[in-house]
Amino acid sequence: MRTLCERKLVRIVGRKDVPGRPIMYGTTKFFLEHFGLQDLSQLPPLREFKELGESEQALLPIEEESLAGC
């Protein structure tokens, strides 16, 4: 998430009103421009990512260190 924030692809949009108050992120206009999208509806549905097998999910980069924010 830090890298996405540094590259101006996502930004902090608030905190969720649940215990722990996790940070919520949203995409930026630059994100859409960078990936050639008109709007977020052009992205594949989250369901497609959830349906990936474990071997495919293991290929997705995940940064586990905690972040202070963007």
Please, how many CA atoms are within 13 Å of residue 40, restricted to the half-sphere of its CB? 8
What pLDDT is recorded for position 70?
72
Each as own residue / partner, the long-range contacts of residues 14-21 (CB below 8 Å, 24 or more positions apart, any chain) are none
Within a domain: residue 11?
yes
Within a domain: residue 7?
yes
Q: Specify the number of domains making up the chain.
A: 1
| pTM for the predicted model, two decimal places | 0.63
Within a domain: residue 25?
yes
Residues of the chain where predicted confidence (pLDDT) is lower than 50 = 65-66
Q: What is the dihedral of CA 21, 40, 10, 64, to 10 degrees?
A: 60
Q: What is the CATH number of the domain that holds 50?
A: 1.10.10.10
What pLDDT is recorded for position 23?
96
CA-based end-to-end distance of the chain: 8
